[in-house]
Amino acid sequence: SRICVITLPEAHPLLQSGKTIKNINYQISANCSRLQNKVSGKSKRGAQFLTELAPLCRISSSDGEEYTIYSCIRGRLIEVNENILSNPALLQEKPSTEGYIAVVLPKFEESKSVTQGLLTQKEYEEVLLKRRSSAS
């Protein structure tokens, strides 16, 4: 299946620094709320179309930092996780399961290039190691 579940990566500052999440906002601009996404039918009619750089939500932490989470994939927004609005701790406690941010469905013809561009867990860990060693 070509469904992509958008989550916070384990290296995200919100998961690393022991910060507390104060607020999650799916209101991207005055005219655009990801909560207004209404999808119906097999062809996912009504789904908002996202580009790689489309913001999905903004997360505020208790220390005043704000993080914009981007789609990173072109496709239709199938759903946003409204459970994290009432329980933001899910993002930190279960980031890859119940604390997901959104589900995106890439176009069929683009799905192969999306999956080919993904890193394996091992490749991702190597990138993090290089990043940490160059930062110190």
- Considering the domain 4-135 in this protein, what is its CATH number? 2.40.50.100
Reading the block at residue 116, the tokens are 């080919």
Measured in residues, the chain has a length of: 136
Phi first, then psi, for residue 19 (nearest 5°) are -70, 160
Instruction: Name 110's Cβ contacts closer than 8 Å, sequence gap at least 6.
Output: 74, 75
* pLDDT of res. 3: 84
Q: Per DSSP, what are the bridge partners of residue 57?
A: 69
* CA 38 vs CA 20, 22, 47, 48, 79: distances in Å: 30, 26, 6, 8, 8
pLDDT at residue 58 is higher than 90: yes
The pLDDT tens digits for 85-118 are: 999 999 988 988 899 999 998 877 777 777 777 7
Structural element, H or E, at residue 102: strand 102-105
Res 69 pLDDT > 80: yes
The C-alpha atoms of residue 99 and residue 25 are separated, in whole angstroms, by 14
